[in-house]
Structures are given as C-alpha cells and as structure tokens.
Amino acid sequence: MNIAIRLILLSLVASLTACATTQIEESWTLPGYMAPAPAERKVLIVTLAADETVRKAFENDFVQQLDKNGILAVASHQWLADGTKVNRETLRPIVAQNGITSVLVSSLRGIEKSQTYQPPEQIGPGDNLYRNFDTYMVYSSSGQNEPGTYVEMTEYLLETNLFNVKTEKLSWSVKTRTTEQATLRKGVESIVNAVMKQAAKDKVL
C-alpha cells in the first residue's frame, strides 16, 4: 500500500475512534416508584433549548424511541409555536387537555472544554516501512513522522427529568455527558439512545 495512503487511512481511523459516545454520569429514581403499564401512559416530551431546530430534533427522537416501546408520547413543539416561552404556565393546558400522565424534560446544564493529547501513529517494522534503509530515510525526512498534537474537546452536560403529573413530583433523573459530534443528528441520537437505555435499566419507562 502506498505510504501516503496508509498514513491518511490511519489518521482517519484515529479520528473516528477518538469520538466518544454519550456517557451516563448518574441517575436517580424516586424510592418506591413503579412505572405504569405502557397503555396507561402518555408522555409529554419537552426540551428546553434556545435553538428551535435542536429542540424539535430532541423531542421528535424521544417520541420515536418511546413509540417503539409501545408508549404514547407527544412533542411539546406540536402545541407551542417557535419562540414561545416554555414554562409551567404554558405547559399546564397542554397536559390537562391531552391526558398527559408524565412529562419528560431535557435541558443543557453546562458546557466544558478541554484539551486531549493525541499521540502520533506508531508505525514500525510490521508495516514494511523500515525494512530497508532508503525507505526509512525517505519516511523519516518527509515530515510525516511528527509529534502528537493537542485536540480541543467540547462536552455537553445534559439533564433529563421525568415528572409525574398526578403527584407533580420528580420520578426519575439522569445526567449525561456527550462529546461534540460531527452533526446535530448524531449528537441527538447519541444522547437519546443513552437516556432511553438508562430508563430501561432503571425500569422507569
């Protein structure tokens, strides 16, 4: 394989494997809480976000995931127009008029930036690059054999809370940490999938 092509492929693999998925930091369940049967539930999905595109992406993905589990869910943006302030007062009539039993609220709780050291790819004799002196000298003097670099990472900290409409109490809460993804779609999928898996583990949805 051409040396230049091999180096490009190695770099691509390193970039892909460096992308972290969403991690669960912690979750909490109200002692004694038992989730109702799916047929008895109707969940209102609410995402608190300044960007309407982000809000709708999260709400729609949660609705789809809950639907796969046989739970009826509706997105708040179906009733609240873009720019409408989302709070207790604006949500109350939606809850009352649509038989909502639970409200799932997601919000950003912080953004953290850090630098991560990315070491250079280690290419040795097994790669057929050092088996003769000429190849070694060409590779070593080409500027390709450079030291590692520092890559800035952005992490988004989110909190998702499940409220019981009848008692108005918090039933479940989960905090997640997500490394910035290449696209909004990937970021949303990563977070929603992690939250849903934790909800299943905690037996709350």
| 32-87 per-position pLDDT tens digit | 999 988 888 999 999 999 899 999 999 999 999 999 999 999 999 999 988 888 99
Q: Confidence class of residue 115 from pLDDT cuts 50, 70 and 90?
A: confident
Is the pLDDT score of 11 beyond 50? no
What would the pLDDT profile of 91-101 be if each residue is shown by its tens digit? 999 999 999 99
Q: b vs e for 140-159, b when ≥16 Cβ sit within 10 Å of the residue's Cβ? A: eeeeeeeeeeeeeeebbebb
Rounded CA separation 199/65 (Å): 11
Report the sign of the C-alpha dihedral through residues 99, 64, 61, 158, in that order: positive
Closest C-alpha among 205, 191, 21 to residue 107: 191
Rounded CA separation 157/107 (Å): 9
Q: So what CATH class is 3-202?
A: alpha beta
Q: Average pLDDT, whole number, for the chain?
A: 82
- Rounded to two decimals, the pTM is 0.75
Q: Tell me 35's DSSP state.
A: P
pLDDT of residue 136: 52
Rounded CA separation 89/70 (Å): 29
Rounded CA separation 188/191 (Å): 5
| 85 token code pair | 């302030």
Closest C-alpha among 55, 52, 40 to residue 102: 40
In one-letter notation, the amino acid at residue 40 is: E
The helix or strand, by DSSP H or E, that contains position 104, with its residue range, turns out to be strand 102-118
Edge to edge, the sheet with strand 149-164 lists 23-29, 169-179, 149-164, 102-118, 42-48, 72-75
Q: Which region, left, alpha or beta, applies to residue 152 given φ > 0 means left and ψ of -120 to 50 means alpha?
A: beta
